Structure 1
């Protein structure tokens, strides 16, 4: 692809002809898996809509827990109502003291930090590597005395959890994996979520494994697993009594918990949705590789760097990092321009947590002491890596990678058109295409 071929073409955002034909749709998300309707109907008529119901046969919640543990290769899986809840109980299970510090990357969804506060702890924001968007050993703040670090696998990149553990472990810090964006990703053959002491997942609407809402914690720690069960089920854990009418949960707790249980309907849906996950991940990964090859010929555009140890991709979002931005423009303009060319939503990364309107603990009087410490700890801190990615990337949702390979050609063509400085001339047929009324060939 020769980028100069686009310099006389008016952008769609300026009234020009879009790259994407109006009759070429994009895959929708979420996509109901085969058998999903039957799973939901089975629960509807089962008389068991919750984990706390009397025994009348196997729960979907326990079936999903078993299947997801086997899928990830973990010894234990504890489903939750949300990914945020998974983070809360993971933090609570570590036995930390009230007000202890937890390192959290500045480039992530707010729940990675607000869960820390909900667990009675204080998040300390740390920068990310701008090449990957993930926290790495070089960005950790080892001087504040933190007791844990949340390693977020961001967008389509995995954090180097083994390297983080090598540094954090000798300092008494536990590593929690936030794998909400990494279902099926692997690091040297090991699944995301199984590299740290505990791994947390989200099954929210937009995730690659979705039930609308849902979450899970996985761990290989046999002592931690029953504690996690109690923390998410009002101090109760799985029982073994399978007599009709017996309760699924037993009340013999070692700790006080709260109710973060997954609904039977969400669990049933996940049992179905887990089926096509590997096939969908393979389609997305193949399209990603195709796009990477196409973008390699366009100066000023790069995908996040992938460490060689990450030997299997899982795409939640695909950031296209613009180095440099088009002259006189920001990445919000670039996202709008690409949205117009592709007829789908292209957007910018989330605002770094250091200036996010969603992370303002001082607005909750009940956590005032934690909020005061949070404010004091973050005076004069900077996050150049997170700010660079947030200010130079545009993002595509993973659903854009579920279509045919030729969709990647349109994405690459649109990117080239936007970043190579198009003129403001009248539309002209593109080389190799024939213009037609109402669209393009």
Structure 2
């Protein structure tokens, strides 16, 4: 046994179990009976709000007006105020937010849109759904987000989907300045950045618009859902029509039995409306998210101090200008993997030691099986251009994060100081045993 004396007061057969990894039959760092915080969590007001919807006989924005305000309208107002924008347009999915966000910009068919390689596939497939060609870029070696150094001006992109990844914001100050100089419209993908801030400005307020997901795993969750925020009045009207079959909010209160929307029809839309049940959950979640953010940040700081003393592994660190963290997934980065190991193996090892799931970050899009536009015949012209543009391109930083990173869900950081110490103990054990 490396580093362990063979002289022991324990029975000879017990010694291996104390120093072996749990995945090999050893004793795990954390007792199997010690629970972790669960997700999603039901906020105090959620049940009451959902019952209000259930018995109010108005389950959707497109239903007839009744006496009470829609939760959808309430969420739109409260979320815009929380983010710090003039407008919020709720939608049924984060993917839908990206689609109508890109459609609202008035780009031409086949225009190119920059997308970081280190993100979920929806950031790129949304461009294809909007009739555009995603062009993958590498990411910053520190933050894992798109940076000005990664932007290839030679591809003549008209827009960029800037993803704030895991717990870090992209350098939007530099990117928006680049966009202003080069004519690239900046769309923020804030699916992992609810409430994050850079230089005191909230994620979603830097670009032309910000797109959010409220899928079950997100820090603000309705099971499925999303939202687009903007300060542009004309853009907001277009977004409303794009998500509600060319209809927008009526400007008067309307009478009981009338519809909440009117057929303004300046642009053809689709139906991406958020249900009242999802909106009710989001209103309840907004009431607790700031407190949850504070808990996660406190535990992040504790864990950062613990990990600082463990060789070979580091905690993902945000851009120095980031003034507020929103932690969706927390990456643990192994700069050099121990001989004979891999990130998938380390994820299994840590999961076994701690009794909660550690897993891989999303596979970079340059190798992901989820981004294959040539499998859909209706996308053929866009797919052909996508393949041509990526011939010979390399993404070393995205590949590094995909190969050397293990993440844990943000719910892990809703635990206690003792929970963070358990994570540190597991990391020390793994590093020591595999070195």
Which TM-score applies when normalising by structure 2?
A: 0.95
Q: Secondary structure at the match of 1:394?
A: strand
Matched, 1:145 2:156: yes
Q: Quick one: distance in 2 between partners of 1:355 and 1:209?
A: 29
Matched, 1:277 2:277: no
2:52 aligns to what? 42
Matched, 1:19 2:29: yes
Matches within 5 A, 1:136-285: 136-239=147-250, 240-285=252-297
Higher mean displacement: 162-171 or 116-125: 162-171
Give the drift of 1:302. 1.1
Structure 1: gaps of 5 or more residues: 424-441
Give the drift of 1:5. 7.9
Q: Which runs of 4+ in 1 moved over 3 A?
A: 3-8
Q: Secondary structure at the match of 1:311?
A: strand
Q: Classify 1:328/1:243 alpha carbon distance in 2 versus 1 (closer, same or farther; 3 Å).
A: same
Q: Secondary structure at the match of 1:13?
A: helix
Structural RMSD (CA): 1.5
Q: Is residue 20–residue 433 contact of structure 2 (8 Å, CA) maintained in 1?
A: no
Q: Secondary structure at the match of 1:131?
A: coil
1:413 aligns to what? 425
Query: What's the CA shift string for 1:87-134, capped at 9, x where partnerless?
Result: 001100101000000000000000000000000000000001121111
Q: Quick one: distance in 2 between partners of 1:319 and 1:291?
A: 12
Q: Quick one: distance in 2 between partners of 1:353 and 1:158?
A: 19
Q: Which structure exhibits the higher relative contact order, with contacts defined as CA atoms closer than 8 Å and separated by 6 or more residues? A: 1
Q: Quick one: distance in 2 between partners of 1:332 and 1:280?
A: 29
Q: Secondary structure at the match of 2:400?
A: helix
Q: Quick one: distance in 1 between partners of 2:259 and 2:334?
A: 56
Count, aligned residues = 421
Structure 2: gaps of 5 or more residues: 6-15
Query: What's the CA shift string for 1:243-302, capped at 9, x where partnerless?
Result: 111210011221111100000110011111111100001000100010000000011111
Q: Quick one: distance in 2 between partners of 1:151 and 1:419?
A: 34
Q: Secondary structure at the match of 2:90?
A: strand
Give the drift of 1:141. 1.2
Q: Quick one: distance in 2 between partners of 1:73 and 1:241?
A: 25
Q: Is residue 11–residue 422 contact of structure 1 (8 Å, CA) maintained in 2?
A: no
Q: Secondary structure at the match of 1:286?
A: helix
Q: Is residue 246–residue 265 contact of structure 2 (8 Å, CA) maintained in 1?
A: yes
Q: Classify 1:145/1:409 alpha carbon distance in 2 versus 1 (closer, same or farther; 3 Å).
A: same
Give the drift of 1:242. 2.2
Q: Quick one: distance in 1 between partners of 2:28 and 2:53?
A: 46
Query: What's the CA shift string for 1:15-59, capped at 9, x where partnerless?
Result: 111001112111110000001011111011112111111111311
Q: Secondary structure at the match of 2:278?
A: helix
Higher mean displacement: 206-215 or 343-352: 343-352
Q: Secondary structure at the match of 2:358?
A: coil
Q: Quick one: distance in 1 between partners of 2:130 and 2:434?
A: 51
1:64 aligns to what? 75
1:28 aligns to what? 38
2:314 aligns to what? 302
Q: Is residue 184–residue 314 contact of structure 1 (8 Å, CA) maintained in 2?
A: yes
Q: Secondary structure at the match of 2:336?
A: coil
Which TM-score applies when normalising by structure 1?
A: 0.93
Q: Classify 1:254/1:418 alpha carbon distance in 2 versus 1 (closer, same or farther; 3 Å).
A: same
Matches within 5 A, 1:358-373: 358-373=370-385
Give the drift of 1:307. 1.4
